[in-house]
Amino acid sequence: MLGITQGLTEFAPVSSSGHLILVPWLFGWTIVNNEALNKTFDVALHMGTLIGALIYFRSDVALYLAAWVRSIRQRAVRTADERLAWLLILGTIPGAIAGVLFESVIEDKLGQPWLIAVMLAVGGIVLYFVDTRCRADRVLTDLRTKDAAIIGVAQAVALQPGVSRSGITITAARALGVERESAARFSFLLSLPIIAGAGLFKAVGLVGTGFQGYGSQFFWGFVASAISGYLVIAFLLSYLRRHNLTVFVIYRLAVAALVFIVIITGFRSATI
């Protein structure tokens, strides 16, 4: 269930990190209270969605990686593919720096259910107004250095659970006038080095932890997140060619309302 949750929410603008905290919290699953195991399992789930995304975007990754290497060799940026490859690298930098500097603060202070609910609601409202009021006349090839920097800074803000990495980067791109499918595609491609880097960083630090007897659970969580992540990417890119993002706004507000109801009724504590 957590593997599917990760796969469904990593690329949809609804916050996978928030859902990976809220689902165990809501159902009372004790994995959320085992810090070492929870971190290791989180790495496995994110690696699953990374594999699913790499399979879907295998042609894009090969194209932009080759363009980046070619640009370095010729010491110039001569094509649209080469420029976009460098923009993806530029957009990754703010999130990578923020992740390294504030990892402990994020994990220790910012993962409380009540705060996640607030971020889901606020992010949903911002997404709605930006998506419905901003123009949509730019595509990937229209992106420039300033655009990538703005979207990259937005991605860094998504380290707060509940904000949603894809949600805030799509919002930033839409605010810059990028049409929905291109905004989503750039957001998804931008996520690949961040997910890979974060996973590797955490994995190195957790080598000594191991699977603690949960090897099969880790495996199936990995598989479930990879398959569901792949399917969600394919669905979203098709869906956004014809529809706006309102359905995700409604979902975010509904989940936020559910969390507050659960807290107010005393079914679960507002904190973990």
Using one digit for the tens of pLDDT, what is the confidence trace for 201-248?
777 766 666 666 777 888 899 999 999 999 999 999 999 999 999 999
Which residue intervals of the chain are DSSP H helices?
Answer: 2-10, 16-27, 35-56, 58-74, 80-109, 113-133, 145-157, 165-175, 180-205, 215-239, 246-264
Nearest one of 232, 240, 6, 256 to 116, comparing CA atoms = 256
Give per-residue pLDDT as tens, 248-269. Answer: 999 999 999 999 999 999 999 9
pLDDT digits (tens, 9 = 90+) for 101-132: 887 777 677 889 999 999 999 999 999 999 99
pTM of the model: 0.93
Distance of CA 143 to the CA centre of its chain: 20
